[in-house]
Amino acid sequence: MLRPASFCGVTGFKPTYGLLPFEGVLEYSKSCDTLGLFTHTPEDMLLLWEAMGFPAREETNVTFGVPDPLPEMDAVMKKAIDNAVAGLKTAGVTTQPINISPLLSKLVKVHQTVSDYEGAHANEERYKQYGDRLGALAEMVRHGLSISPSEYSEALHFVSDSRSRFVEMYQATPVMLVPAAPGPAPAGLSSTGDSRMNSPWTELHSAAISIPMPVGNSLPLGLQLTAAPGDDARLLRAAAKVYRILNKG
């Protein structure tokens, strides 16, 4: 949800894990799969969210957490993020540095273990039937089946510990600002782009949204906002506020 939104200059919202029903969707990773929504702007997403019967609380002032140091990203994305944070500070928004980049990097690796293990076992029978005709899925299944149950269990333990740590951090900085992707959309159609800016939040079961940043005539870039599981309404309100500030109303 978040990378396509970033690449296309629209809003993509991935609600808290398990909030939207998953019946009828082909399983990939049982502990990570999450449905999401696309709209043009965060304000549109708020309207859609309310139309779906979910509450959208009144706007409140929150402290935004900004990683320091920032995760590794393309120069064009770093410039856009720096400009966005500077614009928020100028508008009187409170930001606070948070040291989360090393933890996010570890979660990227752990996510690969969890998702490949679960994806392999969910699609093993399909692989037995179709083999290499499944393309990249076949490669994932082969790798996932090579992961031992103990390695998978260790990864889940790290994820659980990380969720507890982020619950505490979200109390001080209820919304965290990070890139929605390392940079602009990759060339061609062979890849959906680098997922390292998204997979940690998937493992954490956080609510996350990508909103367009002003980039002039350059390729679109998205600012990702995340919040604690269950704090979807506050996240949507915060995203709408940030979008208004960055686009000067």
Question: Domain with 199 in it: what CATH number?
Answer: 3.90.1300.10
Residue 124 is assigned to a structural domain of this protein: no
d(CA 80, CA 246): 11
Q: What is the DSSP string of 29-40?
A: -TTT----EEES
Residue 38 is assigned to a structural domain of this protein: yes
Residue 183 is assigned to a structural domain of this protein: yes
- Does the pTM of the predicted model rise above 0.85? yes
Residue 145 is assigned to a structural domain of this protein: no
- Collapsed DSSP state (helix, strand, coil) of residue 106: helix
- Collapsed DSSP state (helix, strand, coil) of residue 210: strand
Q: Which domain holds residue 36?
A: 2-100+170-246
Q: What is the DSSP string of 160-223?
A: HHHHHHHHHHHHHSSEEEEESSSSSPPSSSS-----TTTHHHHHHT-EEEEEE---TTSPP-EE
Q: Which two tokens stand for residue 210?
A: 């990508």
d(CA 180, CA 92): 23
CB atoms < 10 A from the CB of 118, how many? 21
d(CA 232, CA 214): 24
The half-sphere exposure of 58 on its side-chain side, counting CA atoms within 13 A, is: 1
The position carrying tokens 């507890």 is: 164
- Collapsed DSSP state (helix, strand, coil) of residue 193: coil
Residue 150 is assigned to a structural domain of this protein: no
- DSSP structural state of residue 182: S
Residue 151 is assigned to a structural domain of this protein: no
- Write out the chain's pLDDT in tens, 249 residues: 999 999 999 999 999 999 999 899 999 999 999 999 999 999 999 999 999 999 887 777 899 999 999 999 999 999 999 999 999 999 999 999 999 999 999 999 999 999 999 999 999 999 999 999 999 999 999 999 999 999 999 999 999 999 999 999 999 999 999 999 999 999 988 888 999 999 999 999 999 999 999 998 899 999 999 999 999 999 999 999 999 999 985
d(CA 199, CA 105): 10
Residue 179 is assigned to a structural domain of this protein: yes
Which residues, including other chains, have CB under 8 Å from residue 166's CB and lie 6 or more apart? 204, 206, 228
Q: Which amino acid is at 187?
A: A
Domain count, the chain: 1
The position carrying tokens 């990939």 is: 28
Taking a C-beta distance cutoff of 8 angstroms, is the pair 145, 96 a contact?
no
Residue 141 is assigned to a structural domain of this protein: no
